[in-house]
Structure 1
Amino acid sequence: MLTLTRPDGTPSVDLHLTRRGAVGMFFVGYAVAALSAEAAPIMTPADGLIIEEVTIPNGAASPLPAYVARPKGKGRHATIVVVNEIFGIHEYIKDICRRLATLGYVAVAPDFFYRAGVNLPALTDFAEIRKVVAQASPEQVDGDVRATIGWIKGAAFANPGKIGITGFCWGGGVVWRAAIEDAEIKAGVAWYGQLKPVIARATELKAPVLGLYGALDQGIPQTDVEAMRAALKAAGKTGSDIHVYADAQHGFHADYRASYNEADAKDGWARMLAHFKANGVA
């Protein structure tokens, strides 16, 4: 298994990736830049689900696109905002949404990088990917999260009192910040998101966050993890916690990457669901 050397992804030269493997996987929608030729991603069928591509009014000239997966039938369901990695809305993120929808959730994955007009999953140059990501300022992303929550609250199939958020890599950082900025969010789960920007803001958390991190992550040092734990304790945020997997790298949940750790990914998924349930998002 190869090591992800960067907190928000790894250049393709660091991955065991063949041209044949990249092309084959690209046609089913995975991010080429972080793809492992040996990957066997989970493929969740859409049976019993409604899959939609919607646009969410956010005050911009062009509204915010989002991928939505939800159960068929009537009723209002707890809803999870799913925040992508730096690769945008590719098949891994869509499958996360379908996995949640098969469990009875509405899952909404906004395309936070849509303003750049770039097909991020198709890019192989990390310098170009980072340029796109850098255009999405924290203020802009926070505004898009608020717009998404507003859209969820107005949807006939969503329970407006049961909104959670989860995110991976870049999206993990968004989760911590959203739990600070948005009072409508009841719980968050951050998968290996950067901690440095939010350690000093632990006192501002409005919702409990579960952080899932890897001890072998070379981009998020354990000193940051311990600093965040200390900040949460000092702030009395007893509902928030960080779990560290001793044998996990960055991206250990991403089943299309070489960093995928099946046992830790499954355990983290179970912890995520338990955290949402314990905090009324179920």
Structure 2
Amino acid sequence: MPIKTLRIPTADGRADAFAAFPDGGGRHPGVLMYADGFGIRPVLREMARELAEHGYYVVVPNLFYRHGPAPLIELPAYIGEEARLAVFARLMPMIEAHTEERALSDADAYLRFLTAQPEVSAGPVAVTGYCIGGLLATRTAAAHPGQVAALAAFHAPVGVDGPDRLAEITAEVHFGHAETDLTPEALGELNQALDAAGVGYTSEIYPGTVHGFTMSDTDAFNPAALQRHWDRLLPLLDRTLTNG
């Protein structure tokens, strides 16, 4: 799958990003993929390529471009527990500076850019994300109900904005939660809020998982859960987006 480096115009400058898309030309449904807090790195490129293989044009922006281009900090090839703590100590100021106002402004710019690409077909798009990226995907879907037809978020704090935010979503939704992130009781409360909002969704705890289970370069990785993620994500996109 081709990978193209991008610079996306935003209200605060240009966000570095990359796109993965199918070989052979043509136009394809657009997907905005938000990285986890560790940001753009080889595992994100692999996941974007895999999604592109199924017929989608996938854009992955550097969430923290205001602090510089990715990689913002040097990451080890494998992020174990000890490395995770040290990395997050450096990332946390950037995460805290990424306010909701900034996130929504960026979402406007990312979707505007994505839908303007000549390789992207007309019609609705999808947003997906991991960890903090899942929260950003949820906020993007809520802010663009007429444009976002599918939302998927994995090991993400999707309920922190409250039921009013969920009520703004018109996309079909899948939330895949880590067992260590959400109790069954909290899952029940979240799903009740989704029911009350009239959202079409699946929302489930992936068995035997810890936070970060999709990321193969971390000690949280769970291969079975990553496959479950694809088994939920791909049919969702197939139902809601039109290829060709």
CA, structure 1 residues 163+178, in 2 after alignment: closer, same or farther (shift >3 Å)? same
1:205 partnered with 2:166: no
Matched residue SS, 1:73: coil
Q: Which of 155, 165, 174 is equivalent to 2:127?
A: 165
Q: 1:91, 1:66 → 2: CA distance?
A: 13
Q: 1:281, 1:252 → 2: CA distance?
A: 29
Q: 1:198, 1:63 → 2: CA distance?
A: 27
Matched residue SS, 2:2: strand
Aligned residues: 230
1:1-282 to structure 2, matched below 5 A, reads 49-60=1-12, 62-117=13-68, 119-122=71-74, 124-183=86-145, 184-201=147-164, 202-215=166-179, 217=180, 219-237=181-199, 239-280=200-241, 282=243
CA, structure 1 residues 121+85, in 2 after alignment: closer, same or farther (shift >3 Å)? farther
Kindly provide the CA deviation profile for residues 212-258 of structure 1, in whole angstroms up to 9, marking residues without a partner as x: 1122x1x4444332211001112222x21202222111111111111
Matched residue SS, 2:129: strand
Q: 1:220, 1:213 → 2: CA distance?
A: 7
Q: 1:139, 1:221 → 2: CA distance?
A: 30
| Greater Cα radius of gyration, structure 1 or 2 | 1
TM-score (norm 2): 0.88
Q: 1:177, 1:59 → 2: CA distance?
A: 18
TM-score (norm 1): 0.76
Residue segments in structure 2 that go unaligned for 5+ positions in a row:
76-85
1:34 maps to what in 2?
A: none
The alignment's C-alpha RMSD in Å is: 1.7
Q: 1:281, 1:263 → 2: CA distance?
A: 28
Matched residue SS, 2:39: coil
Kindly provide the CA deviation profile for residues 85-116 of structure 1, in whole angstroms up to 9, marking residues without a partner as x: 11111111111111111222111001110111
| Residues 219-228 or 63-72, more deviating | 219-228
Q: 2:158, 2:189 → 1: CA distance?
A: 9
Residue type of the partner of 1:257?
A: T
Q: 2:111, 2:25 → 1: CA distance?
A: 20
Kindly provide the CA deviation profile for residues 143-185 of structure 1, in whole angstroms up to 9, marking residues without a partner as x: 1121111112211100131411110011111122111111311
Residue segments in structure 1 that go unaligned for 5+ positions in a row:
1-48
